[in-house]
Amino acid sequence: MATTMLRGRRARLTTGLITLAVGTSLALAGCAGGAPATSASVPTDTAAVTGELNVLVSSASGSDAGFKAVNDAFAAKYPDVKVNFTAVPNENYNQARSSRLSAGTIDVGLANPKELPSYVPESNKGDDARLADAGGFVDLTDQAFMKKFNPSVLDKIKYAGRNFTVPTGLSYYSGLTYNKKIFADNNIQIPKTWDEFLAVCQQLKDKGITPISIGGKDTGGIVMLSVVQGLYPTAQNKQDLAKGLYEYTVALNTDKQVEVLQKVQQIYTFGQSNFAGSNYNEMTSQFLNGKAAMISDGTWNVGSLRKAEKQVDFGYFPLPASNNAADNANLGGKVELTLAVPTNAKNKDAAMAWLAFFADNYKLFNDKAGFAPSQEGVEGDPFYAEIAPYTKNFEPAWDTIWIANTKAGQAAALPFNWNAVKPMGSMDAQGAADAAQKDWEAGR
Amino acid sequence: MTKSYIVFGRRITAQLTFAIGMALVFIFSLIPAVGILIISFTDIRSLPFLPVRWVGLENYETFFSSAQIGYNVIALRNTFVFAFAVTIFQNVLALLIAVLLNQRLRGRNFARAAVFLPTILGVTVIGLIFTLLFNPSAGPAQQLWGAFGSSSAFFGDPSLAMTLVIVVQVWSGIGVAVVIYLAGLQAIAPELYEVADIDGATSGQKLRHVTIPLLAPAVTANTLLCIIGALQSYQLIYVLTGPINPATQVLSLAIFTQGFGGAQGGTVQSQGYAAAISMVQFVIVAIVSLLSLAYLRRRETVL
């Protein structure tokens, strides 16, 4: 009897424990059901906008300064709103957003819902697309302030035909920032083809100047993305490649695909010594100190380069990965930080007012952020006028088109296995490409 | 009739204290642990609005799938290399330092504080210190390498990164191990050394036949703490070599990157998958810890 009672008690305890655990874990995960309302509007009465406004973005010195400038001006217009602005490092953003979204403490945050092409299995749909499907973001398509933004940019960030996000600008990153003085002193012209580019690198190396500064620890992947842009220059080329890979008609270790890694390997030979251990700051300082003639980086660094104590006269050109100059004519890029209002935002009125204010005062933001402007008629840094010939046809970079296959192995994540190539990894280009193909096939 | 011992004067006080302790263990350890086991069978993403589906063993099948197994085996191998090396080096060095700091030396207290200092530094601070020290362009370590006509990418060098991370981990964790050994050393009666002196024992013999046998419980405690800590550690690796460096990928780092999307450019699965890796790691840590405990307890008895 006593044993039965004890067993009964234990069983109840176990059941209770499991129920409590399930309840706790699900509650912590914030899996509230039901379709939320995705509409909101900008309040017309300034005095009606009050309370706290929580803005969460990923951090970069330029954009942080831009957001702060907007926040200060917003606080002057809306004195009854307290703006809590948080900028967290890029690599921790998802973690911070996840917990704060669950708690409903984001009024304005970042989102980037991406359409899933028909050839990509549904299981690869990203978190933001899933959130948009579930009504997690306010639909901003019909808001008056959206008309201030360039329609072609808005088109690029549409999801399911709707705009859930506000574009803060554009960045290009398939090129190289170059030191104009070093180029002039050595009588070097901007290379237009791969062979010319190799000759320029060799000439600089022979003179004891590091041709390219690379941040192996942080931004080593930019080299690969730049090569892909030259070898697959149009959006259609890249989409065909992605489709071919998902349909297993194209392999990662043959043809142009292996050429990507071979060219990456060649470029690595022109990096600063031991670049695999260099972080972003070390990479930038090599360039600012005049030790390196070029830097493999995106245009998002323009603001920081301008603010640097030691000024360098710099320009930017596409890394010419192809021997056909026409393929190297355009820079690949992306729409920068895209702002969204979660539907569980506690202060939606203030969030909508802030977005409208941001759109009206975009120049205030972009003068500090240094992006290529996402609004027509807004002047960006003069640097962007210089690179206009490379940006008149906006070409999306490879990582904005590629959707990773969660079933495939890590070597095929991007899917070019750039960080396995020496000295970043321990393989040659063919070995890294074979490893990527093996991991890609395994996800079939 | 068994005599009951009342530790705190009243039985109710003891029961209450025990109950509070157990409640804390229950709420903060047991319930989350069971919760992790349960969510490892789901596709939970820890985001509002998104439904949670029961996926059965799918996450475990993914972990052991042909696509992931190669990467996970490397992570597992790195985890064991890291844990084994940290445990051995940290314990041997800590024991030697503790024996040294137990002597009557000038500046002994300062030396003890200096050895303990890294323990109170945060992981990020330690990461920053060693990133600067091993800066590949102009750091002091590079200059030292240069003096021998060599150079290295240090944390960026796939063949050196793991060794360096182990060195940093040993440096940062040695303080606690030294304190535990010092406490053990101070509990050894000085008479035993006097007897050994009378018997004409050398310093080495005293260490082998007096110090080490009597320190066995401290060795057990330190070894277990070290093994469990090292098998679960990822913070230093993350700060020093980044989240997706294959050369230093360990299981706990895989859990973090999969669970929280720290791996930029990497494939990000659901947090259910991260929970499944956690369960695999839990089983490994439990087996290794229990085997080590059984072995160390047997050694204590033999000694």
Render A297-358 in DSSP notation, one character per residue. Answer: --GGGHHHHHHSSS---EEEEE---SSSGGGGSS-EEEE--EEE-BTT-TTHHHHHHHHHHH
Q: What is the pLDDT of residue A29?
A: 46
* pLDDT reading at A66 higher than 90: yes
Among A183-197, A308-322, B3-17, B241-255, which is the least confidently predicted range? B3-17
A56 within 8 A of A351, measured Cβ to Cβ: no
Task: Give me the mean pLDDT over the B223-236 stretch.
Answer: 90
Q: What is the pLDDT of residue A37?
A: 66
A chain contacts of residue B137, beta-carbon cutoff 8 Å:
272, 274, 278, 282, 285-286
Q: What is the pLDDT of residue B3?
A: 54
Task: Give me the mean pLDDT over the B294-303 stretch.
Answer: 82
B chain contacts of residue A98, beta-carbon cutoff 8 Å:
45-47, 260
* pLDDT reading at A231 higher than 50: yes
Mean pLDDT (chain A) is: 90
Query: What confidence tier does A32 reach under pLDDT thresholds 50, 70, 90?
Result: very low
Q: What is the pLDDT of residue B268?
A: 59
Task: Give me the mean pLDDT over the B182-200 stretch.
Answer: 92
Q: In what order do the strands lie in the sheet with A338-340?
A: A109-110, A338-340, A166-167
Q: If DSSP codes are grouped into helix, strand and coil, which group holds residue A108?
A: strand
B chain contacts of residue A272, beta-carbon cutoff 8 Å:
137
For residue B47, give the nearest of A17, A127, A276 by CB distance: A127
Contact between chains at A130 and B38 (C-beta distance less than 8 A): no
Strand partners, A84: A54
A42 within 8 A of A146, measured Cβ to Cβ: no
Task: Give me the mean pLDDT over the B227-247 stretch.
Answer: 87
Q: What is the pLDDT of residues B239-260, one digit of tens each?
A: 898 877 888 989 888 888 777 6
Nearest to residue A332, comparing CAs of A388, A239, A395, A386? A395
Amino acid identity, position A74: F
Residues in CB range of B104: below 8 A, 6 or more apart: none
* pLDDT reading at A81 higher than 80: yes
* pLDDT reading at B210 higher than 60: yes
Contact between chains at B49 and A343 (C-beta distance less than 8 A): yes
Q: Give the domains, in start order, of chain B with CATH numbers.
A: 62-302 (1.10.3720.10)
Q: What is the pLDDT of residue A199?
A: 98
Residues in CB range of A69: below 8 A, 6 or more apart: A364, A365, A367, A368
Contact between chains at B36 and A99 (C-beta distance less than 8 A): no
The reply to whether omega before A415 is within 30° of 0 (cis) is yes
Task: Give me the mean pLDDT over the A413-421 stretch.
Answer: 92
A chain contacts of residue B49, beta-carbon cutoff 8 Å:
32, 36, 131, 134-136, 343-344
In degrees, rounded to 5, the angle at the alpha carbon of residue B47 between the alpha carbons of residues B45 and B48 is 135
Report d(CA A325, CA B144) in Å as an integer.
Answer: 45
Q: What is the pLDDT of residue B4?
A: 55
Tell how strand A395-396 and strand A332-335 pair up. parallel
A62 within 8 A of A304, measured Cβ to Cβ: yes
B chain contacts of residue A414, beta-carbon cutoff 8 Å:
265
A chain contacts of residue B67, beta-carbon cutoff 8 Å:
407-409, 439, 442-443
Among A149-153, B23-27, B134-138, which is the least confidently predicted range? B134-138
For residue A25, give the nearest of B35, B142, B153 by CB distance: B35
Contact between chains at B65 and A442 (C-beta distance less than 8 A): yes
Q: What is the pLDDT of residue A2?
A: 41
The percent of residues in chain B predicted with pLDDT above 90, rounded, is 53
ipTM beyond cut 0.90: no
Q: What is the pLDDT of residues B25-82, one digit of tens each?
A: 999 989 999 999 999 999 988 888 888 999 999 999 989 998 888 888 999 999 999 9
Q: If DSSP codes are grouped into helix, strand and coil, which group holds residue A72?
A: helix
Contact between chains at A134 and B50 (C-beta distance less than 8 A): yes
Contact between chains at B71 and A410 (C-beta distance less than 8 A): yes
Report d(CA A189, CA B224) in Å as an integer.
Answer: 63
Q: How many CB atoms lie within 10 A of CB A438?
A: 18
Contact between chains at A411 and B242 (C-beta distance less than 8 A): no
Among A29-43, A135-149, B28-42, which is the least confidently predicted range? A29-43
Contact between chains at B46 and A99 (C-beta distance less than 8 A): yes
Task: Give me the mean pLDDT over the A187-213 stretch.
Answer: 97
DSSP state, residue A119: T
